[in-house]
Chain A
Amino acid sequence: MPEPAVDKEKRVTQAPLENICSQVRRDIVRMTHGAKSGHPGGSLGCVEFLVALYFDVMQHDPEDWDMNGAGQDLFFLSNGHISPVWYSVLARRGYFPIEELATFRKLDSRLQGHPTTHDGLPGVRMASGSLGQGLSVAIGAALAKKLDKDERLVFSLHGDGELQEGQNWEAAMSAAAHKVDNLIATVDHNGRQIDGDVDEVMPLGDLGAKWRAFGWEVLEMNGNILQEVLDTLQKAIERTGKGKPIVILMRTEMGQGVDFMMGTHAWHGVAPDDEQCERALAQLECTLGDY
């Protein structure tokens, strides 16, 4: 597939973050509706976090994107199934044309069901989807930055159910051992996974105590309050470079912003039908222009 030219006209880097959040939510609903598949629940819950990261917190330049990302902050999505929110934020931030969101999960698209580097989509540095691998990768990228004396940071996002994968704890141990203090990992602690509540499927126990016991600096925030997300991420950045990796336990509501998708795990991996799509969009009135 030929690489589409970047549509500079539709970039929305200047709109208030709240408005961008609303548009990203519209994109998530429309993308999963259009694909008749995908993962709207977790995507909706992480909108504020990813908008804050890409439109405010991270030092990065879509115009200057390359795989190595030298001199730029990097982000890794470990829970790759929430690709709709990431694709929307990347497109709205200017990494690729917004129109391309319409190809989500379709044949020959760069916007695969789960993110991939395979098709050269700008902004994506690692395939994810098979869970539990992203923290290791983020640690590797952070170690490379240290070797290169590159002072920029590495951010990553993980699901809470995903923490049931043992590789995360191998990674957590190694990040502390190697003093990977240029890494800020965030856990989307929405308490739900495919089969039900995390506490019922496989309880995580005291997550803060677990991470602290592994040698991490632990912060907590409500991931659906934009200002709290911005403030906590700044606080996390201030704590980098002090010998410890940092994790933010981010409380979110799966399905946030669409009332009938909230309070349940049912919308983990189910797309809205025509009527549900209309009802959802009616709750997300603020738009910067749908794709």
Chain B
Amino acid sequence: MTAFTVRDKKDTRSGFGAGLLQAGKDDPNVVALCADLTGSLKMDAFARAFPERFIQCGVAEANMMGIAAGLTIGGKVPFTGTFANFSTGRVYDQIRQSIAYSGKNVKICASHAGLTLGEDGATHQILEDIGMMRMLPGMTVIVPADHDQTKAATLAIARMNGPVYLRFGRPKWPVFIPEDVPFEIGKAQVLLEGRDVTIVACGHLVWNAIQAAERLLEQGVQAEVINMHTIKPLDVRAVLRSIGRTGCVVTCEEHNRYGGLGEAVAQVLALHAPTPQEFVAVDDRFGESGTPEELLRKYRLDVPDIEEAALKAISRK
């Protein structure tokens, strides 16, 4: 088993900010739009470097999505930035008609997703966004696991053509994905190999899954950990290859158990290889105020919860 080195603790949103700045340097067509959250989204560096390519939209997310769609018509590559709630639920119809149905090359970049937003509470802790975005035909959905991967994902989506939902978060989180593991849209990363259970995770919970795997190993259980950073299109082959060895799966996500990664994996299994699956996800509830750590514990997305789910999945084989 490979030991993971935690290189640093950084917020994934800063990875986005760094990636956006680099994307702006790489491609003069990259433009950025923000709805009064430039600092929170770490878009200030881009705004300072390319003021003519930064469009402040104020607290008006619906208009921001429409302007972004229009900018693509001149060949621009717009990145919108606001919190995940205001990037999706608030503007679903704008995304649906003006971006997804119209096939526009807009990159919807969403911070402060999930419970780890923390103290602001349930109004801001969206847990339904992956589901909403997954359901839109043609939408690519990416949930990177750490700061560096968020930067890599930001650069990757700048180079692809088509609408993307990029979801990241607020808290400082371990930077641990080995630097020699390349990020490729739609290609899952097997971070740990194992034969007893497959743990498929995305976002912040990939680190929790790694820790759970280490605790499982102490009990003689070899867990395979897959970082499913791209929820759509899902790397079906990676799932099937892994469960072919392990025979059971746990999915982990900072999202409602409905609509997210877990259901995406369940559909693959139902179609190709019915397999016991356990879901580490929020149990169809809204969140609340608290620290990220407290919330992950209370809503059962913590390391022991993944460990327990893995043992349960194994018992169902």
Q: Do A and B bind each other?
A: yes
Encoded as 1 (CB less than 8 Å from any A CB) or 0, chain B from 58 to 82 comes to: 1010111111111111111010000
Kindly identify which residue among A69, A130, A166, A170 contacts B73, using a CB–CB cutoff of 8 Å. Answer: A69
Q: Which residues of A contact B63 (CB under 8 A)?
A: 136, 139, 167, 170-171, 174
Interface residue range, chain A: 35 or more
Q: Check: A125 CB closer than 8 A to any chain B CB.
A: yes
Q: CB-nearest residue of chain B relative to A172?
A: B63
Q: Check: B52 CB closer than 8 A to any chain A CB.
A: yes
Label chain B's interface by main secondary structure.
Answer: helix
CB distance from B202 to the nearest CB of A (A): 30
Kindly identify which residue among A68, A125, A133 contacts B66, using a CB–CB cutoff of 8 Å. Answer: A133
CB distance from A226 to the nearest CB of B (A): 29
Q: Among residues 94 to 140 in chain A, which have CB atoms less than 8 Å away from a CB atom of chain B?
A: 116-118, 125-130, 133-140
Q: Which residues of B contact A212 (CB under 8 A)?
A: none
Judging by beta carbons under 8 Å apart, are B66 and A127 in contact?
Answer: no
Judging by beta carbons under 8 Å apart, are A70 and B66 in contact?
Answer: no
Q: Which residues of B contact A130 (CB under 8 A)?
A: 93, 96-97
* Total B residues in contact with A, Cβ cutoff 8 Å: 31
Q: Which residues of A contact B98 (CB under 8 A)?
A: 126-127, 133, 136-137
Judging by beta carbons under 8 Å apart, are A140 and B68 in contact?
Answer: yes
Q: Which residues of B contact A142 (CB under 8 A)?
A: 70
Q: Check: A178 CB closer than 8 A to any chain B CB.
A: yes
Q: Check: A148 CB closer than 8 A to any chain B CB.
A: yes
Judging by beta carbons under 8 Å apart, are B70 and A140 in contact?
Answer: yes
Q: Among residues 68 to 117 in chain B, which have CB atoms less than 8 Å away from a CB atom of chain A?
A: 68-76, 78, 93-94, 96-98, 101-103
Q: Check: B10 CB closer than 8 A to any chain A CB.
A: no
CB distance from B122 to the nearest CB of A (A): 24
Q: Which residues of B contact A67 (CB under 8 A)?
A: 73
Q: Check: A157 CB closer than 8 A to any chain B CB.
A: no
CA distance A3 to B73 in the complex (A): 22
Q: Check: A173 CB closer than 8 A to any chain B CB.
A: yes
Judging by beta carbons under 8 Å apart, are A127 and B97 in contact?
Answer: yes
Judging by beta carbons under 8 Å apart, are B75 and A127 in contact?
Answer: no
Q: Check: B53 CB closer than 8 A to any chain A CB.
A: yes
Q: Check: A141 CB closer than 8 A to any chain B CB.
A: yes
Judging by beta carbons under 8 Å apart, are B103 and A174 in contact?
Answer: no
Judging by beta carbons under 8 Å apart, are A137 and B70 in contact?
Answer: yes
> How many residue pairs between the two chains, A and B, have CB atoms under 8 Å in the bound complex?
119
Q: Check: B21 CB closer than 8 A to any chain A CB.
A: no
Q: Check: A144 CB closer than 8 A to any chain B CB.
A: yes
Q: Which residues of B contact A134 (CB under 8 A)?
A: 66
Q: Which residues of A contact B93 (CB under 8 A)?
A: 130, 133
Kindly identify which residue among A76, A133, A150 contacts B74, using a CB–CB cutoff of 8 Å. Answer: A150
CB distance from A76 to the nearest CB of B (A): 8
Q: Which residues of A contact B69 (CB under 8 A)?
A: 126, 136-137, 140
Q: Which residues of A contact B65 (CB under 8 A)?
A: 136
CB-CB under 8 A for A68 and B62, given A137-B98, A140-B68, A178-B55: no
Encoded as 1 (CB less than 8 Å from any B CB) or 0, chain A from 62 to 75 comes to: 00000111100010
Q: Check: A39 CB closer than 8 A to any chain B CB.
A: no
Q: Check: B240 CB closer than 8 A to any chain A CB.
A: no
CB distance from A70 to the nearest CB of B (A): 7
CA distance A170 to B97 in the complex (A): 18
CB distance from A58 to the nearest CB of B (A): 15
Kindly identify which residue among A139, A150, A170 contacts B62, using a CB–CB cutoff of 8 Å. Answer: A170
Q: Check: B31 CB closer than 8 A to any chain A CB.
A: yes
CA distance A224 to B98 in the complex (A): 30
Q: Which residues of A contact B53 (CB under 8 A)?
A: 147
CA distance A128 to B93 in the complex (A): 11
Q: Which residues of B contact A144 (CB under 8 A)?
A: 70-76
Judging by beta carbons under 8 Å apart, are A167 and B66 in contact?
Answer: yes
Judging by beta carbons under 8 Å apart, are B97 and A143 in contact?
Answer: no
Q: Which residues of A contact B236 (CB under 8 A)?
A: none
CA distance A70 to B94 in the complex (A): 25
Q: Which residues of B contact A129 (CB under 8 A)?
A: 97
Instruction: Supply 4 further A-B pairs (C-beta < 8 A) apart from A74-B73, A140-B66.
Output: A126-B73, A127-B102, A143-B67, A174-B67
Q: Mind listing 10 A-B residue pairs with CB under 8 Å?
A: A117-B101, A130-B97, A135-B66, A138-B70, A140-B69, A140-B70, A143-B67, A147-B53, A147-B76, A174-B67
Residues of A within 8 A of B (CB): 67-70, 74, 76, 116-118, 125-130, 133-145, 147-148, 150, 166-167, 170-171, 173-174, 177-178
